[in-house]
């Protein structure tokens, strides 16, 4: 197939894993000779990288697809691809629902895009959803940012949280080797990247599937060991990781974050519910007391650490009192950011089949109430930055005010300040915070004053 002058667009839904996969798939299309175009309506190849974590995420995909399917009737050489988690969940059924599709490919097949497209250009309609060993990524991702980058360290998830589709659609855990991860990070440093976020659905599971145990009998390759192993790459100034699971979170890891200067004091540890009965029904494997102990331990080492999390309200059978236990946890911990969602029954998950589902009215009422508390607490957390000097890694221009640049503090708070992006992109700058809002800050650069006296 001649790809010269052919244009592509990728629309990405869902989490950071999907964003990372999209960047790799864009890199493959670039290598094949396709050219990126910003509007899907102008593209010869449109790829939807989809999410099915909640029903509304899935429905969004169908409405976008419908539009492109129509366009294909005017433009028969349009190539339509559905990748990601809806593709994995629906497989061939997607072809029946949208016969205009050329390729349906699960997340484990992202690195095989060129191969799969070749089959399409040979005249086939292709479905690639069988479980595979994920190829070590040898492509060059087309990354959105020139400053911060994601690096997958473990794919898949072996947990069985009773509400969650991820294990069904992302498959079993597959850790990359420490050498491959370090290699990718060194290459990123060479390209000028400053910040790396290590990614995994359950990042604390890193290394469980790799061979080797220590004399004490623990796995040789853990997230903690990996942090020490990759820490000293010159040029990389900041390291983050997500998502942490309270079931496996260790004091060793907290200590490593404390010891290692490049690892930011920012922890994303979803708790899902503040009620022990609900946590049990969710099969999360910890109590709210254990969760509180983890946060207390983090704050013992790093009193100012930023804590973010996810929570679900309206899980099947959740009583008003159990919901209030979640509110209480939110109130007690004081999260910097909390992502909340109303429970959504998902195909192929145990909780979807239970007969104690709550009404939409109850769920949305609880969602509103928790969100109200979340913004009050976030405002309280932001207030501590007032008049402080924070180091901000500049990522981009403020799209709403071009005289300002924006970046993040080590605690991951979005921060705006006056400055020239050409001069500041990728720099770490001391900024005095002059204005605080619940989820962002504004400040001004501090000119270092050298006092010879």
88 binds ligand SAH, rule: CB under 6 A: no
Region binding ligand SF4 by CB under 6 A among candidate stretches 116-124, 155-163, 181-189, 403-411? 155-163
Nearest-angstrom CA–CA distance, 315 and 357: 7
Nearest-angstrom CA–CA distance, 11 and 317: 36
**3-state class (DSSP) for residue 48:** strand
Region binding ligand F3S by CB under 6 A among candidate stretches 38-46, 48-56, 267-275, 404-412? 48-56
Q: Judged by CB, which is closer to ligand SF4: 346, or 410?
A: 346
432 binds ligand SAH, rule: CB under 6 A: no
Q: Which of 7, 8, 9, 17 binds ligand F3S (CB under 6 A)?
A: 17
Nearest-angstrom CA–CA distance, 62 and 392: 39
Handedness of CA 128, 133, 134, 139 (dihedral sign): negative
Each residue 192-231 as x (binds ligand SF4 by CB under 6 A) or -, in order, gives ---------xx-----------------------------
272 binds ligand F3S, rule: CB under 6 A: no
Region binding ligand F3S by CB under 6 A among candidate stretches 12-20, 28-36, 112-120, 291-299? 12-20
Q: Judged by CB, which is closer to ligand SF4: 110, or 436?
A: 110
| Binding to ligand SAH, residues 164-203 (CB under 6 A) | 164, 166, 201-202
Separation of first and last alpha carbons in the chain:
71
**Residue 2 dihedral angles phi and psi, to the nearest 5°:** -90, 115
Q: Which of 154, 166, 188, 203 binds ligand SF4 (CB under 6 A)?
A: 166
| Binding to ligand SF4, residues 56-115 (CB under 6 A) | none
Q: Which of 166, 239, 313, 330 binds ligand F3S (CB under 6 A)?
A: 166
Cβ neighbours of residue 334 closer than 8 Å, sequence gap 6 or more: 307, 377, 380, 381
Q: Judged by CB, which is closer to ligand SF4: 81, or 157?
A: 157
The token pair at 191 is: 């390209």
Q: Judged by CB, which is closer to ligand F3S: 14, or 443?
A: 14
Q: Which of 6, 346, 377, 425 binds ligand SAH (CB under 6 A)?
A: 346
DSSP 447: P
Query: Are 294 and 302 in contact, with CB atoms under 8 Å apart?
Result: no
268 binds ligand SAH, rule: CB under 6 A: no
Q: Judged by CB, which is closer to ligand F3S: 52, or 412?
A: 52
Q: 413 vs 186, 299, 336, 432, CA distance in Å? A: 26, 18, 8, 13
Handedness of CA 360, 361, 366, 367 (dihedral sign): positive
Nearest-angstrom CA–CA distance, 414 and 408: 5
- Burial grade of 276 (CB within 10 A; 0-12, 13-18, 19 or more): middle
Q: Any idea of the CA torsion for 35, 38, 39, 44, to the nearest 10 degrees?
A: 10
Query: Are 103 and 120 in contact, with CB atoms under 8 Å apart?
Result: yes
Region binding ligand F3S by CB under 6 A among candidate stretches 49-57, 138-146, 231-239, 258-266? 49-57
Each residue 272-311 as x (binds ligand SAH by CB under 6 A) or -, in order, gives x-------------------------------------x-
47 binds ligand F3S, rule: CB under 6 A: no
Residue 167's binding partner out of ligand SF4, ligand F3S, ligand SAH, none, with CB under 5 to 8 Å set by partner kind: ligand SF4
Nearest-angstrom CA–CA distance, 272 and 338: 10
DSSP string, 194-226: -EEEEE-TTGGGTTTTSS-B-TTSSBS--HHHH
CB 297 to ligand SAH: min, Å: 19
Region binding ligand SAH by CB under 6 A among candidate stretches 43-51, 159-167, 179-187, 432-440? 159-167
Query: Are 326 and 274 in contact, with CB atoms under 8 Å apart?
Result: yes
Residues that bind ligand F3S (CB under 6 A): 14-15, 17-18, 51-53, 84-85, 165-166, 169-170
Residues that bind ligand SF4 (CB under 6 A): 157, 159, 161, 164, 166-167, 201-202, 245
């Amino acid at each position: 197939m001649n790809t010269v002058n052919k244009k592509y667009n990728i629309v990405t839904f869902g989490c950071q894993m999907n964003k990372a996969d999209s960047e790799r798939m864009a890199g493959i299309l670039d290598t094949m000779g396709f050219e990126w175009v910003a509007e899907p309506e102008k593209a010869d190849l449109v790829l939807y990288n989809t999410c099915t974590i909640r029903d509304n995420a899935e429905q969004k995909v169908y409405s976008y697809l419908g539009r492109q399917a129509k366009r294909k009737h005017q433009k028969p050489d349009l190539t339509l691809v559905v990748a990601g988690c809806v593709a994995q969940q629906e497989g061939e059924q997607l072809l029946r629902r949208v016969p205009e599709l050329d390729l349906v490919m699960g997340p484990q097949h992202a690195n095989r895009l060129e191969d799969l497209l070749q089959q399409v250009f040979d005249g086939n309609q292709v479905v690639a959803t069988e479980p595979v060993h994920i190829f070590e990524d040898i492509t060059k991702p087309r990354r959105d940012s020139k400053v911060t980058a994601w690096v997958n360290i473990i794919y898949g998830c072996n947990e069985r949280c009773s509400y969650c589709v991820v294990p069904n659609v992302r498959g079993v855990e597959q850790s990359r080797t420490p050498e491959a991860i370090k290699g990718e990070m060194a290459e990123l440093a060479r390209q000028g990247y400053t910040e790396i976020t290590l990614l995994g659905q359950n990042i604390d599971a890193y290394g469980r599937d790799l061979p080797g145990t220590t004399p004490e009998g623990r796995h040789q390759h853990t997230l903690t060991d990996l942090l020490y192993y990759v820490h000293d790459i010159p040029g990389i100034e900041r390291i983050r990781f997500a998502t942490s699971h309270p079931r496996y979170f260790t004091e060793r890891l907290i200590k490593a974050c404390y010891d290692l200067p490049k690892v930011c004091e920012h922890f994303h540890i979803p708790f899902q519910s503040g009620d022990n009965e609900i946590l049990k029904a969710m099969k999360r494997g910890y109590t709210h007391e254990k969760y509180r102990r983890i946060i207390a331990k983090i704050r013992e080492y790093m009193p100012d650490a930023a804590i973010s999390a996810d929570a679900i309200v309206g899980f099947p059978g959740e009583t008003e009192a159990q919901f209030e236990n979640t509110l209480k946890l939110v109130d007690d911990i004081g999260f910097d950011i909390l992502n909340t969602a109303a429970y959504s029954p998902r195909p192929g998950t145990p909780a979807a089949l239970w007969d104690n589902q709550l009404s939409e009215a109850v769920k949305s009422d609880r969602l509103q109430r928790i969100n109200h508390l979340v913004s009050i607490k976030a405002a309280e957390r932001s207030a501590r930055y007032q008049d402080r000097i924070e180091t901000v890694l500049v990522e981009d221009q403020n799209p709403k005010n071009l005289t300002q640049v924006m970046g993040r503090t080590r605690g991951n708070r979005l921060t705006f300040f006056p400055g020239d992006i050409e001069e500041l992109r990728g720099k770490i700058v001391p900024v005095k915070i002059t204005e605080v809002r619940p989820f962002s800050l504004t400040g001004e650069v501090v000119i270092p004053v050298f006092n010879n006296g």
